[in-house]
Structure 1
Amino acid sequence: MPFKPSKLGIPKSDPPKPDIEALAASVDRVGKIQLLIVGLLTLALVAIPLYLWRRPRSEDNAPPIPRPVVADAVGETADAAAPTALDAGASGISLSEIAVLSCHDRGTRKTAPGDCDRLSSIETALAAAIVKKADCVPTSSAGGTIQYVADVGFARTRNKIAILAPRDGRTLKSAKLASACALAVKKELASTPLDIPHAHERYKIVVTANYAGR
């Protein structure tokens, strides 16, 4: 008779049942994390472009550029052609081109001559006055050059246009003649109107007059 294994072995146990509550809690926790990540990404996508759009720019923080005293009118003056070299012909005098030596205001701030605006009406009046007073150098003179420097001070109450004849700017040997010519030109400019557009308080304008041998 064949041997049959006994059925009295280790009792079979039922497979463990899944913890439904723990599984549900785990799924709920993962879902919340995912929602939090999505929320953060959405916030970043909205906040970053908004910050870049509204952030202060360097030019917004730059100090304002001071405007000239009469900016609109000065633009027209600066664009106006400055008087060029003048040949008076019969009067025996010729003038170089007029240039601006300097322009400045009160304080330590300096402006380069090339950035100065031009006082065209005063430059024209200066050239005309020099030609008109050409006889300040008599016919007996051997001739030479005189450099005239017009010191224009709009803020001054007196002597608004001063005329100088610096020694190092002339070849005319007689200092007395040079001083007489400077005084004659100054008197001729005494009635020149100064209610003109200007960006600065003071200017120095220079021109050289060449007096032919008389």
Structure 2
Amino acid sequence: MSPAEYKVRRAVVDDLPQLIVLWRAERLPWEELERQLTDFQVVTDSTGKVHGTLAIRITANQGLIHSEAFLDSAEADVLRDLLWKRVQTLATNHALYRLWTCITAPFWTHSGFRKPNAELAAKIPTSFGHGNQMDLLVLELRPEPEIKPVDLEREFELFREAEKERTEAALRQARTLRTVALIIAAAVFIVVFAGGLWMVGKSLFSGTR
């Protein structure tokens, strides 16, 4: 079959019987992989027959390609190429920094995977099950943002300045409110006082008549 006749998609429950056959043929831990079904991608023909599969486990912006299996080893590299394109799309969609694989087939080294240096090996997620061992191949996809160390003293100083500014703003607001209250109180006093004088004056004027 030509590559155009195949379809690559995520595995579904209906694929399990065929996948188990492939996993067992490759002596993979099929019972464990069955629980990871949603990690698997499959290559099928127009009838839905699964010709190849592999999994990509994604953890913390990194991906692990593992557990590949093919119905016919003669078409393995053709199917790997189709699956690799699918993995690249997933890696882009999930903004992965790098991909790892424990698969030793030459296809993966030809695709750019290489042995990691000690610095990269230290970044292997523990969920990949390999710790810091340098037995995986890695492909860096994009630069990982540099995490700058936090200057606690500087952060505390900025926090203190911000708190000081908030306190001063609160005091200014309180002084403004007090001034407004005094003005209102004075205005009320003047109105009441003026009203009182007017009433007294009116009474005196009425008494003289």
| Fold shared, TM-score > 0.5 on shorter chain | no
**Structure 2 length normalisation: TM-score?**
0.22
- Which protein has the bigger helix share? 2
Q: Radius of gyration: which is bigger?
A: 1
